[in-house]
Copies of this chain bind each other. A is one copy, B any other.
Amino acid sequence: MELDDSILNKFGFIARGPKDAINIDPLQTGGKLTEDARKALLEWGDGYSVCDFCGGVLDLIKKPPIEELIHNALPAFLDTDAVRITHGARESKFAVMHSMGQEGDYVVLDELAHYSSFVAAQRARLNVKTVPHSGSPEYKTDVEAYATAIEEVISETGKAPALAQVTYPDGSYGNLADVKRISDICHSYDVPLMLNGAYSVGRMPIHAKKMGVDFVVGSGHKSMASSGPIGVLGVKEDYADIVFRKSPTHKVKELELLGCTARGATVMTMIASFPEVVRRTQNWDNEVADARWFSAKLEDMGIIQMGDKPHNHDLMFFEAPVFYEISQTAKKGRYFLYKELKKRNIHGIKSGLTKYFKLSTFQVGRENLSYIADSFQEIIDTYQK
């Protein structure tokens, strides 16, 4: 194929439709850039921009304050010992699994773990044992079953799992499990515990040590108002020399990071947003209050919130028989809801979903949430006439 203008003209600058809508997509509410991050994007957008200031180790760059972020601020923010930045939560999880496990070892995952946790384990050539949840409507992870899972691995293989993981919250129902209890169970078997905080780090306070977790994983583009891909990885000192082991030939380069990770615009947007990200986690109680208030509004319309109740996180899953019923006869079928919301500048419920959907109220604000709830009611009223 010749790359002539008829092909090349398909590329270039492309506008992004929904960028100014009221956004309730759980993937996006925590990743929206701050004003400072938008400025940083343009300032540092060129490839390798931060490398001007690098003596060979990204996390030791003093100006801009990358070392300060990675070695002082983030360990304090996460309440952990050693931190590095990675290309994202999944890359953080893979780095831990790949360094803590040997081919054929087991890792214990909650059944509600994100697909990328399973995929990371598979890429690391580890086996997975899952911990079940209670099913509908609460989908509560069976915390005590971490013991069962670990014992099954020991009895099948003669060896404890290399690692256990808990997803906090899970990405479907926004449930927050009792991590301290899981940690006590895992540690009684000498199994280290990783917390996948892709939906918590940067939204709510996370104290790794207080919770008893050995590894904590966060996502810059999901929850830290950063332009991705970027993630964070916090490690308890006991394991830092394993996960951050260095090359035998290139003494300052860390193997699991392939020597360097999120240079350029990604780390500089994380730095730009960091003050606001820290402050917003201190406002978490109000975010939970907003989520509960919105959930109650929807429940009044016959839309049922699944998962923890009362809910403790902005990510919520709903069952909406009323919308499903409408979709059976509506002109646009199951796309009516997406289109009605789009008309009202509301974005984030996946096109085609009516009976079940998830959304996030994070930083949407009471006024917009009120508008969204009123819109739901208006749509119901219009179609039920």
Residues of A within 8 A of B (CB): 1-3, 7-19, 25, 27-28, 30-33, 36-49, 51-52, 64-65, 68-69, 72-73, 75-77, 87, 90-91, 94, 98, 103, 115-116, 118-120, 122-123, 219-222, 225-229, 247-250, 253, 255-256, 258-266, 268-269, 271-272, 274-275, 278-279, 347
Nearest 7 pairs of A and B residues by beta carbon: A31-B47, A47-B221, A8-B275, A1-B76, A13-B36, A11-B274, A27-B48
User: Do the beta carbons of A65 and B116 come within 8 Å of each other?
Assistant: no
Given A46-B33, A47-B220, A115 contacting B271 (CB threshold 8 A): no
User: Do the beta carbons of B15 and A247 come within 8 Å of each other?
Assistant: no
User: Do the beta carbons of B46 and A258 come within 8 Å of each other?
Assistant: no
Give the residue of B31, B37, B42, B256 whose beta carbon is less than 8 angstroms from that of A48. B31
Contacting residues, chain B, for A347 (C-beta < 8 A):
52
Nearest neighbor of A14 in chain B, beta-carbon distance: B64
| Number of this chain's copies in the complex | 2
Contacting residues, chain B, for A225 (C-beta < 8 A):
47
Taking the closest CB of chain B, its distance from the CB of A28, in whole angstroms, is 5
Contacting residues, chain B, for A229 (C-beta < 8 A):
87, 229, 261-264, 266
Which of A8, A25, A229, A347 has its CB near the most chain B CB atoms (within 10 A)?
Answer: A229
Q: How far is the CA of A45 from the CA of B263 in the complex (A)?
A: 15
User: Do the beta carbons of B228 and A264 come within 8 Å of each other?
Assistant: yes
- List 12 A–B pairs whose Cβ atoms lie within 8 Å, in order of A's numbering: A1-B76, A3-B77, A14-B271, A19-B43, A25-B48, A41-B41, A47-B225, A103-B103, A116-B258, A122-B247, A228-B265, A229-B261
Taking the closest CB of chain B, its distance from the CB of A308, in whole angstroms, is 24
Q: How far is the CA of A247 from the CA of B261 in the complex (A)?
A: 25
Q: How far is the CA of A146 from the CA of B168 in the complex (A)?
A: 50
Contacting residues, chain B, for A247 (C-beta < 8 A):
115, 118-119, 122
Give the residue of B46, B65, B222, B261 whose beta carbon is less than 8 angstroms from that of A14. B65
Give the residue of B11, B19, B42 whose beta carbon is less than 8 angstroms from that of A69. B11
User: Do the beta carbons of B73 and A7 come within 8 Å of each other?
Assistant: yes
Taking the closest CB of chain B, its distance from the CB of A251, in whole angstroms, is 10
Contacting residues, chain B, for A220 (C-beta < 8 A):
47
Q: How far is the CA of A263 from the CA of B272 in the complex (A)?
A: 20
Give the residue of B27, B119, B271 whose beta carbon is less than 8 angstroms from that of A250. B119
Give the residue of B11, B13, B41 whose beta carbon is less than 8 angstroms from that of A65. B11
User: Do the beta carbons of B123 and A258 come within 8 Å of each other?
Assistant: yes
Taking the closest CB of chain B, its distance from the CB of A83, in whole angstroms, is 13
Given A14-B40, A264-B227, A274-B8, A250 contacting B47 (CB threshold 8 A): no
User: Do the beta carbons of B47 and A28 come within 8 Å of each other?
Assistant: yes
Nearest neighbor of A27 in chain B, beta-carbon distance: B48
Taking the closest CB of chain B, its distance from the CB of A30, in whole angstroms, is 7
Give the residue of B33, B228, B275 whose beta carbon is less than 8 angstroms from that of A11. B275
User: Do the beta carbons of A259 and B65 come within 8 Å of each other?
Assistant: no
Contacting residues, chain B, for A255 (C-beta < 8 A):
119, 122-123
Nearest neighbor of A347 in chain B, beta-carbon distance: B52
Contacting residues, chain B, for A221 (C-beta < 8 A):
47-48, 263-264
User: Do the beta carbons of A30 and B14 come within 8 Å of each other?
Assistant: no
Give the residue of B40, B52, B226 whose beta carbon is less than 8 angstroms from that of A13. B40
User: Do the beta carbons of B39 and A41 come within 8 Å of each other?
Assistant: no
Q: How far is the CA of A260 from the CA of B198 in the complex (A)?
A: 15
Taking the closest CB of chain B, its distance from the CB of A107, in whole angstroms, is 13
Q: How far is the CA of A68 from the CA of B7 in the complex (A)?
A: 9
